Structure 1
Amino acid sequence: MKSVIFDLIENLVEYNSLNPKIGNGLKKFNEIEIDYNKRFEFDGGYLFFQEGTTTHIDEGTFEAHKKYIDIQIVLDGSEYVAWAPIDQLEVDVAYNVEKDVVRLNGNPETTMKINKGMAYICLPHDGHKALKYIDKATNYKKAVIKIEI
């Protein structure tokens, strides 16, 4: 697989073949009440919720992860996410093992608007810049599910 996956929330279960722990994360997501101040653990990863206001697409850096697959689910509002393969980006901040993140600079290959009810899955080769806007800032609420590789 060579690209970030964009899909609807109800289709996420179909991606269990990528990693069987995805099912555990989705089960936990469906069982809990939203709490923006808490991290929820499950067998094979964890999840948390975020809310805020998007920043301009030109601000910030791309990020990528080695130990976790990201599943990002927009619960309310919308965001743009910029994507590029990490081999087309330049390292800005070296990989931090503790935080499982490398910060990268470069140009996006794809930019996608993610609306309420949509999700995207980022694998280790996916540089992604999330929580962005192009024309006007928007408010968002989302869940981030981290799946151990």
Structure 2
Amino acid sequence: MILDKIDNYKLYVNLNQRIARAFTYILETDFSQLSLGKHLIEGEDIFVLLQEYDTKEIENCKLESHKKYIDIQFMISGDELMGITTLNNQETTEFNEDNDYYFYNSDYTIIRVNEGMFTIFFPDDIHMPCIKVENIEFVKKVVVKVKI
């Protein structure tokens, strides 16, 4: 798992060619001109989910992971908390293999993701996005899905 400011994106572009392409897209796209939902960058190999939502109470959020895709989550506006932990043989409580979602009940650590920051979640990184900081807040986020 990686948490950093978008200003430091160059530290991570050599991890993978598709990750580099994802950062190029994030930096060059005017998200105010893009409709919410799914947008293909390189077919199903790299695509974007543009989201707007109100953050939630922690009990309304789920720990999740993905096996087929790396998640790059960039906070366009607003702040949220995320729960994080590692896979370490955690028991899956629910899954949707077609949509690449696996859910868990586990202990986790909380991190804060502020506007202008991003996270990178690899398949062994369980994460719980969308948690309110202090009050429920409207956020805009782009999730870039990078096929492994």
TM tier relative to shorter chain: 0.7 to 0.9
SS of equivalent residue, structure 1 residue 99: coil
Q: Are the counterparts in 2 of residues 13 and 22 from structure 1 also a CA contact under 8 Å?
A: no
Deviation at 1:87, TM superposition (A): 2.0
Pick the structure with more strand per residue: 1
Corresponding position: 1:103 with 2:103: yes
Q: Which runs of 4+ in 1 moved over 4 A?
A: none
Q: Are the counterparts in 2 of residues 89 and 107 from structure 1 also a CA contact under 8 Å?
A: no
SS of equivalent residue, structure 1 residue 87: coil
Paired with 1:137 and 1:37, the residues of 2 have a C-alpha distance of 20
Q: Are the counterparts in 1 of residues 14 and 20 from structure 2 also a CA contact under 8 Å?
A: no
Unaligned residue ranges in structure 2 (runs of 5+): none
Paired with 1:16 and 1:7, the residues of 2 have a C-alpha distance of 13
Could you give the per-residue CA deviations for residues 74-97 of structure 1, whole angstroms, max 9, x where no partner exists? 111100010011226331103x22
Q: How many residues align?
A: 144
Deviation at 1:38, TM superposition (A): 4.0
Could you give the per-residue CA deviations for residues 50-73 of structure 1, whole angstroms, max 9, x where no partner exists? 111111123232110011100001
Aligned-residue Cα RMSD (Å) equals 1.7
Change in Cα spacing, 1:103 to 1:19, as seen in structure 2 (3 Å) is same
Q: Are the counterparts in 1 of residues 61 and 130 from structure 2 also a CA contact under 8 Å?
A: no
Unaligned residue ranges in structure 1 (runs of 5+): none
Q: Are the counterparts in 1 of residues 3 and 119 from structure 2 also a CA contact under 8 Å?
A: yes
Give the corresponding residue for 2:40.
41
Paired with 2:17 and 2:130, the residues of 1 have a C-alpha distance of 27
Letter in 1 for 2:9: L
- With the length of structure 2 as denominator, give the TM-score of the two structures: 0.88
SS of equivalent residue, structure 2 residue 59: coil
Corresponding position: 1:138 with 2:98: no
Paired with 2:56 and 2:70, the residues of 1 have a C-alpha distance of 23
Change in Cα spacing, 1:24 to 1:134, as seen in structure 2 (3 Å) is closer
Corresponding position: 1:68 with 2:65: no
Identity, in percent, stands at 28
